[in-house]
Structure 1
Amino acid sequence: MERRTLIKSLMAAPLLSGLAAAGSAGAAPSTGELLRPARLRRGMTVGLVTPASNAWEDEDIRFAIDVVKSLGFKVKEGANLYQRTQYLAGPDAARAEDFNRMFADPEVDAVFCLRGGYGTPRILPMLDYATIRQNPKILLGYSDITALLNAIHERCGLITFHGPIAAQNFTDYTLEEFSKVLVRGEFPVRLGEAPPFEGSPGRVERRNRVTRFRGGSARGRLIGGNLTLMCSLLGTPFEPDFRDKILFLEDVGEAPYRIDRMLTQLWLAGKLDEVNGIVFGKFTDAETSGNTFSVEHVLRERSAGLEVPVVRGLMIGHVDDQTVVPVGAMAELDGDSGALILQEPVVS
């Protein structure tokens, strides 16, 4: 089910009763200390959780477990891993409980999300941010997981990771990006460059080209992920600090006018004027039937008045070949070459 359909369904549901407690104990803002989780090593234990939606069938969950094991890790399943409540992976409290337990569990070395979908903003007030700060671990996922990645970095100072979910096959490209960031801990290193293309004379790869909307270079800490989720955090206690950041954005299944609407929201809120640079990843499966602007037109127009480097097309988003972007890490955006370069270690 597409995200916009889920949101329409949700409007009829009660709001989270715990939202008023968002500023309660354990939810203090980051003190400014940057926390780097331990790098991944073979034999480590990965906690598998479903903080948003669940896979449609149990066999898909077992597939995700096999994917994680194939990477060389042991798997600890969340107690509520197989729960489903319509478009959510069980009740909010159960999903939050699984998440909190994984960070509190000394046997768990990293936390991978089975999939995205919808639901992570609902559990943000229920997370134990104090325990997460005290037990820094790799948190990996994308799409709806964007809300967790940015809220946890903002509250805890922990570098989190926008990257593949467990319920997907890792292409050679995805595995290499995963390994260089989370296993080998390389830096400086370019993130999200187009995969190599080998074609016959006269053939050129078009799909994975980088578009340079505005040149120049800038440095800043990385924030971002799914455009829909970044907009959903605005005006909440979990809104990230956009000042002097490199903002990266992606989405899936959104028509150009909806992408326009969300970017306009960020612009009207003053957030696009605060960042040092913008990276647009992939906006896949955009609905472009009828009389509409193209996605390229919308992205170019909405960033036209900004005096910062802006590029489009890095391997970030709902694509098979996918990079890993560390939320909270220092990076440089080169708008002339279209490169995003990680500038510091992100794992210990």
Structure 2
Amino acid sequence: MDRRGFIRTAALTAVLPSLGGIGTASAAARPRLLPVPLAKGDTIGLVSPSSATDDSLNLQLAREAMEALGFTVKTGAHYDARRGHLAGTDAQRAGDLNAMFADKAVKAIVCTRGGSGAARLLPLLDYAVIRRNPKVLLGYSDITALHCAIQAQAGLVTFHGPIGSGSWNPFNVDQFRRVLLDRELVDYRNKVEAGDELVPRRNRTLTIRGGKARGELIGGNLTVLTALAGSPYLPDFRGRILFLEDVSEAPYRVDRMFSTLKLMGALDQVAGVIFGECSDCNPGDGYGSLTLEQILDDYLLPLGIPAYRGAMIGHLREQFIVPVGGKVELDADAGTFRLLEPVFQA
């Protein structure tokens, strides 16, 4: 073999394992695992897997919110720690998560906040312990790294939704009750109110391509998800319904991330797409930027699958609690999706 042929072969050998990072190898072997039911009076564990809080009041508010919802609270040993921008060292934060999953008295785990740093924990999590102790994990934004990894490595259904220190307004409390306590097969429809406008403007959905599709949900924050490309912590995309959201990203960066999903083959595998809110993702003044609408059309329309945007998923005061791994039917014309099967153990 000549030098050029050797380099070509070596390059292919290096690339092929990374293609498995789409999730086809590890995640496909993991059967779906449902968490144990949650009831008022149970113990909820509060952990900080990502950034530290800049005000201890936020941690107090997270505890008080869980207590107001009717739960006993146990805090992670290092949930109020700090190392740089992180809520403690990687070992401390991963240790708190592993301990909460291993603790039989803890029935659910709520992340105090997102931010950055959860991906650093993924090699340190004990996925065997998680599989043996399936329970609710709730959070969003940077917590997407945990949702993806636990889906890929354990098959456990987790929940993309409000963080402990976030807003627990009536909408979010109602979502918590319906999804996590009453265990409804929820029909996710945006809350649309006209207010003082002639026609409603807020929480509007827009069909990208019409139709219906069924599949298990995967996704979360676009930036965090695409940063896992090539790793064993990205779940299987085949036949899934992909939901995405982001915040404060310039359109060119959103375009780059969609390009990553396209080039790695993920977009070609999904059955449908739900795009939530990309808050503060508008193009700057003047010319020279694609709009978010153009980017979504460029990448999603050629797929020929149902897709819509504007779902109440993302960095919003009022947001859906979405079961990652739950089986849903997406109706892109109506701008809705609904749970088809229970996401808790019987």
TM-score where L is the length of structure 2: 0.89
Secondary structure at the aligned position of 1:293 is classed as coil
Structure 1 counterpart of 2:235: 240
Is the CA contact 2:30–2:153 (under 8 Å) kept in the aligned structure 1? no
Q: Which amino acid aligns with 1:253?
A: S
Gaps of 5+ in 1: 1-27
Counterparts of 2:232 and 2:295, CA distance in 1: 29
Q: Percent identity?
A: 47
Q: Per-residue displacement from partner, 1:1-56 (whole Å, max 9, x unpaired)?
A: xxxxxxxxxxxxxxxxxxxxxxxxxxx75754322112321111000000011211
Match of 1:12 in 2: none
Aligned to 1:184: 182
Residue deviations 1:264-314, cap 9 Å, x none?
Answer: 110111110000000000100124222222222222222121110010001
Equivalent-residue separation in structure 1 for 2:211 and 2:50 (angstroms): 38
Q: 2:224 aligns with which of 211, 221, 229?
A: 229
Confirm or deny that 1:269 pairs with 2:264.
yes
Provide the C-alpha distance between the structure 1 equivalents of 2:223 and 2:264, rounded to a whole number of angstroms.
Answer: 15
Is this contact kept in 2: 1:67–1:168, CA < 8 A? no
Find the partner of 2:212 among 206, 212, 217: 217
**2:253 equivalent among 246, 255, 258:** 258
SS at the partner of 1:219?
Answer: strand
Report if aligned partners of 1:195, 1:321 keep a CA contact under 8 Å in 2.
no
Aligned counterparts of 1:176 and 1:30: Cα–Cα separation in 2: 34
Do residues 340 (structure 1) and 337 (structure 2) align? Answer: yes
Of 193, 200, 209, the match for 1:197: 193
Match of 1:282 in 2: 277
CA gap of 1:29–1:295, structure 2 versus 1, over 3 A, is closer
CA contact (8 A) 1:30 1:155 kept: no
Give the residue type in structure 2 aligned to 1:186: E
CA–CA distance in 1 between the matches of 2:114 and 2:28? 25
Displacement of 1:168: 1.2
1:320 correspondence with 2:320? no
CA deviation string 1:119-151 (max 9, x = no partner): 111110000000000000100000000010111
Partner SS, residue 304 of structure 1: helix
> How far did 1:342 drift?
1.0
Deviation at 1:169, TM superposition (A): 2.0
Amino acid corresponding to residue 41 of structure 1 in structure 2 = A
Does the 8 Å contact 1:46/1:73 carry over to 2?
yes
Q: 1:83-142 CA deviation, whole Å, 9 max, x = no partner?
A: 111111111000000000000011111000000000111110000000000000100000
Counterpart of 1:123? 121
Name the amino acid aligned to 1:194.
N
Structure 2 unaligned residues grouped into runs of 5+: 1-25
Q: d(CA) in 1 for partners of 2:251 and 2:27? A: 35
Structure label with greater radius of gyration: 2
Could you say which residue in structure 2 is the equivalent of 1:306?
303
Mapped partners of 1:287, 1:90: distance in 2: 34
135, 155, 158: which is aligned to 1:157?
155
SS in 2 for 1:262: helix
Partner of 2:110: helix, strand, or coil? strand
Conservation of the 8 A alpha-carbon contact between 2:192 and 2:202 = no
* Separation (CA, whole Å) in 1 of partners of 2:246 and 2:194: 28
TM-score (norm. length: structure 1): 0.88
Secondary structure of the residue aligned to 1:248 is strand
Counterpart-to-counterpart distance in 1, 2:145 and 2:342: 23
Aligned length: 318
